[in-house]
Structure 1
């Protein structure tokens, strides 16, 4: 067990950060609106997430560089700048939605204190931690925060469920050809396979290798696979159990609309008890503290790698001022979304649109890099990775087309 835990690092953090407060809101809505009908999506998305994140991790290990640097070196500038153009607003909106969600949950637990005070306090704490602590300490903090996600796995076992029906809904896909069902499938795909995670995974693997000073070999790549697969499995387990909880409690009670994570927690309290409500709310805070540094960090790494700034969470503020200033700006802009009247659900909608546009393009580029011997040498993609990557591209493209169709 000790040997297994030592292998866990960037992959575990990436997977856990995928279950941020905005993701939890999406999973809760899926359960409330359709019961257990979307449970099968957790099974389907696992191998797809693992394949894409595995490619990104391998690129980081083999090149020793972030995805943005690889794009800058080997592809035309319009490709790189297009990715930045769509990624930055999406990441900023995602940060804003998560900060608002965490603030709303804190206000729900302590109603005497306004939401905006919690939002400002959370932002200030995150700024201090990111700037003050080096990479190794931050990664340890993030690893421990992953434990908060276990709270969601506990909740369904506190309820009386028909596990036979749960198994049928999990392994026998249900599909409905209507706008609402297709919309939630699109939202679940966009939430689980997010472009910012591609950049974060690649950069963190490169940094982690640099810190450890290990040569890329078969053992290192196998350890990376264990780390990534564990992280993605963990992420999908949490997705599964949140849909199971809300689908088993809120759907039978006739509660069909969940707009924010605090609404989900409030709705659970009278139906599943005070303890379930507190566990759900506490999990939101843990996942937000885990996800927001990943969001802000990935955006700052993208900027730094594009313009050649000194970057790294292991550097002091004086050594990488532009990098840390971009982290601060992204957090402040995300915080300001509440003040300009953009609701969390609006932010999530805009984020989903931007992710939906960029994800298929990024997947094609990652597939191309992963099969480019000039870049990857003898560590190119396996046949299975390519097959799963192409399936992911087809699904994400279909999701993007469906999203645009529904909206316009």
Structure 2
């Protein structure tokens, strides 16, 4: 057996540790809890207490379903979401979806970099704007110049930073006897502010950039192994690969929403309980925790913002570059050398640059942050609808159509996101 064959021996993968099996699903789920997401969850916890915690429980099976569908599209077809849109659907649909995704991602990058700079300033002092530039530059340089085979494990290890938010739950005083009821029993209101926050939560947890990223990372991971082919051309490998994708996705999404719920619980038990209901950024949430929950909760919360941002900014910039690159049919992918994919890396750097510039402009990053989550919730609906249509096309999926249960969950997730977005429009 050659060295290449040994490198991709499926039995060797099965013998690997659980951590080695985890990949796109884990990093996708963890990047969902970026600083802008932390701000949204903190705002929800501070404003409504535990009342919206149920949305994070409800969304777990929906997230798992839609992310698994994204991964299957990439692994089966050998192309990402934008690549399949470019090959099989009208150009106006492709350009509209990719443009909205790029705009929302650039805004998210700006908000995340601003939160990282503010968090580091809280911890060590110094100029937050300088930290924004340094974080943005370091993110671009890492994605461009670190080989993908080495960069992917870095992203996986950065997911450990999310445990900071699980830790804060056990530092603050949570009313454990009352909390489960409020989290598990849905509270519903037709108040426009309530509905807007529901859309923001769902737009943060079920975001279009996550679909594009996981599908593309499945393609990248497969292309990095020379003996692997798209599953529609390698049907014998499909059961093993679908099993890996499901384990990876379930663990990643459950981990993501557990952390999100921990943030809501922490801010509900501290800020909301003490009447602090106006939280605009993740850094404000960390600072507000200091007098209420003590210096340890503050430090852990602030440090977590930096760690999650270091994971999320590359994912946001990378998914934007993947979408634009595939839409324009450029050579694309983090596994390519800079000289092989100049336009792809140019888009990645440009999206990050826009995020950096946002922090030096008159754009209100707080409003941009919240409304980017709302925009994500609205944009997700047509993207999910198109994805579900993709899974019915044999030229994309071959004979590997979705099993009935997964297809039903995918359409249910699409319907719920659509109904929530419609509710926001009707109560504007």
Query: Shorter chain as normaliser: what TM range?
Result: over 0.9
Residue equivalent to 2:10: none
CA shift, 1:406, in A, is: 4.5
Residue equivalent to 1:96: 110
Q: Tell me, what secondary structure is at the counterpart of 1:378?
A: coil
Q: Tell me, what secondary structure is at the counterpart of 1:339?
A: coil
CA distance in 2, matches of 1:160, 1:264: 16
CA shift, 1:223, in A, is: 0.6
Larger displacement relative to structure 2 (193-202 or 310-319): 310-319
CA deviation string 1:352-402 (max 9, x = no partner): 343233211111111111122332122211222222222212221122223
C-alpha contact 2:165 2:262 (8 A) present in aligned 1? yes
**RMSD of the TM alignment (CA)?**
1.5
C-alpha contact 1:97 1:343 (8 A) present in aligned 2? no
The counterpart of 1:9, out of the listed 12, 23, 48, is: 23
CA shift, 1:302, in A, is: 1.2
CA deviation string 1:107-148 (max 9, x = no partner): 11223x121111111111112111110112111111010000
Structure 1 segment 159-238 matched on structure 2, within 5 A: 159-212=172-225, 213-214=227-228, 215=234, 216-238=237-259
Structure 1 segment 48-59 matched on structure 2, within 5 A: 48-59=62-73
Larger displacement relative to structure 2 (55-64 or 215-224): 215-224
C-alpha contact 2:175 2:269 (8 A) present in aligned 1? no
C-alpha spacing 1:373/1:300, structure 2 compared with 1 (3 Å) = same
C-alpha contact 1:90 1:350 (8 A) present in aligned 2? no
The normalised TM-score by structure 2 is: 0.92
Residue equivalent to 1:133: 146
Q: How many residue pairs get matched?
A: 406
Q: Tell me, what secondary structure is at the counterpart of 1:252?
A: helix
C-alpha contact 2:83 2:326 (8 A) present in aligned 1? yes
C-alpha contact 2:85 2:94 (8 A) present in aligned 1? yes
CA distance in 2, matches of 1:142, 1:233: 18
Say yes or no: does 1:119 pair with 2:132.
yes
Structure 1 segment 280-291 matched on structure 2, within 5 A: 280-291=301-312
CA distance in 2, matches of 1:264, 1:126: 24
C-alpha contact 1:101 1:344 (8 A) present in aligned 2? no
Residue equivalent to 2:320: 299
Q: Tell me, what secondary structure is at the counterpart of 2:131?
A: helix
C-alpha contact 2:74 2:216 (8 A) present in aligned 1? yes
Say yes or no: does 1:151 pair with 2:164.
yes
The counterpart of 2:337, out of the listed 287, 310, 316, is: 316
| Consecutive unaligned residues in structure 2, runs of 5 or more | 1-14, 229-233
Say yes or no: does 1:387 pair with 2:408.
yes
CA distance in 2, matches of 1:123, 1:186: 28
Residue equivalent to 2:3: none
Say yes or no: does 1:373 pair with 2:387.
no
C-alpha contact 1:68 1:302 (8 A) present in aligned 2? yes
CA shift, 1:85, in A, is: 2.2
C-alpha contact 1:16 1:149 (8 A) present in aligned 2? yes
CA distance in 1, matches of 2:178, 2:38: 23
CA distance in 2, matches of 1:183, 1:358: 15
CA shift, 1:2, in A, is: 5.1
The counterpart of 1:72, out of the listed 60, 81, 86, is: 86
Residue equivalent to 2:54: 40
Structure 1 segment 229-378 matched on structure 2, within 5 A: 229-378=250-399
Q: Tell me, what secondary structure is at the counterpart of 2:186?
A: coil
Larger displacement relative to structure 2 (335-344 or 48-57): 335-344
The normalised TM-score by structure 1 is: 0.96
CA distance in 1, matches of 2:262, 2:370: 23
C-alpha contact 1:32 1:258 (8 A) present in aligned 2? yes
C-alpha contact 1:12 1:230 (8 A) present in aligned 2? yes
CA distance in 2, matches of 1:171, 1:88: 35
C-alpha spacing 1:56/1:165, structure 2 compared with 1 (3 Å) = same
CA distance in 2, matches of 1:240, 1:350: 21
C-alpha contact 1:100 1:119 (8 A) present in aligned 2? yes
CA shift, 1:235, in A, is: 0.6
CA distance in 2, matches of 1:116, 1:256: 27
Q: Tell me, what secondary structure is at the counterpart of 2:402?
A: coil
| Consecutive unaligned residues in structure 1, runs of 5 or more | none
